[in-house]
Amino acid sequence: MKRVRNTVLLITAMLMLIIGSAVGVHAASGMTLTVTSVTEKNATVKWNAVSGAASYLVAYEASTDTGKAKSVTVNAKTTSYTLALPKDTVYYLAVGAKDASGKTIAYTDAFALAALPGKVTGAEVARWNQNGTAATLNVKNNPAPNTWSGIEYKFLTSKGKTVKTGKFSSYPYAVSGLSSKQIYKLSVREYIVLGTKTFYGPWYTKWVVPEPKLLTPKIASGTKIKVRWRKVKGATKYVVYGSTNPTKGYKKIKTVSKKKSSYIVSKVKKKKLKAYQNYYFKVVAYKGKVKSTSGWYTGGHIYYRYS
């Protein structure tokens, strides 16, 4: 942190030297700098016109190129400038007003600029808490190279009702006030704060399909077992899988309607169920082609006996 602070101070001093700031001439003399737009490639800044100015000197330097500041002079009628911003680079920019003799009569403070990082490339709910009321949110993105950026998120129901919104700057991030009994449409986007303004990147959207909670199976007739689960609101179908091993070898048994919350299983891996054999099941919920993470039933041994 100390190294970063020293770099900023060094760059600021260099910009002030280029502009030609003098004792008794301050940004407080009425010259201010604001950001009007930011894209993934550039940023546009503007400043207020200064009485007596014959030209303006725009000086800027990348945080990765200390000591290599550049400058450009624009006429007195120009009060804005667009700076190209390479990816993952912070620039510092300041503007000085010059009179006809070339003397600095006002200048702005050095301003930090960075391009929008672009669209988030992925997001997922990594896990739910035991009660199914809070989830851990992970986001795959290209973070802005400074401390003024973060992620904005919103959870909507499958019918489009917003149920949760917020912002965070570090992750994984725990989001409360949700329910694992419901499918959500998750939207996330990155934002960057420059001065007093916040600029947003494009939204990334995906379906979040919680795993169905499996209920205790029940013996049906003979060697058949009734697999039961708790419905997930918004699901379009469920797929039942079975195995004789709790961690591998699961094979599809049946695809069932969204209206169902149980299925009677008579075969696993195309073989009839046998007495004294352990069977394990999982049920996957779908929203269109998007599936949930596995919902496991590993509640001990399940025995079957012929009557």
Q: In a structure prediction context, what are the per-residue pLDDT tens digits for the chain, which is 307 residues long?
A: 333 344 444 455 555 666 555 434 444 456 888 999 999 899 999 999 999 999 999 999 887 766 778 889 999 999 999 999 988 788 889 898 989 998 888 888 888 898 887 888 888 887 787 778 888 888 887 665 555 688 999 999 988 999 999 998 877 788 999 998 999 999 999 888 888 889 998 999 999 999 888 888 888 777 789 999 999 999 999 999 998 888 888 899 999 999 999 999 999 999 998 877 888 888 999 999 999 865 444 333 343 343 3
Distance of CA 4 to the CA centre of its chain: 25
Show the domains of the chain with their CATH numbers.
2-113 (2.60.40.10), 122-208 (2.60.40.10), 214-297 (2.60.40.10)
For 144-181, give one letter per residue: b (16+ CB within 10 A) or e.
Answer: bbbeebbbbbbbbebeeeeeeeeeeeebebebeebbbe
For 202-224, give one letter per residue: b (16+ CB within 10 A) or e.
Answer: eebebbbbbbbbbeebeeeeebe
Q: What is the pTM of this model?
A: 0.77
Return the closest-CA partner of residue 250 out of 298, 304, 288: 298
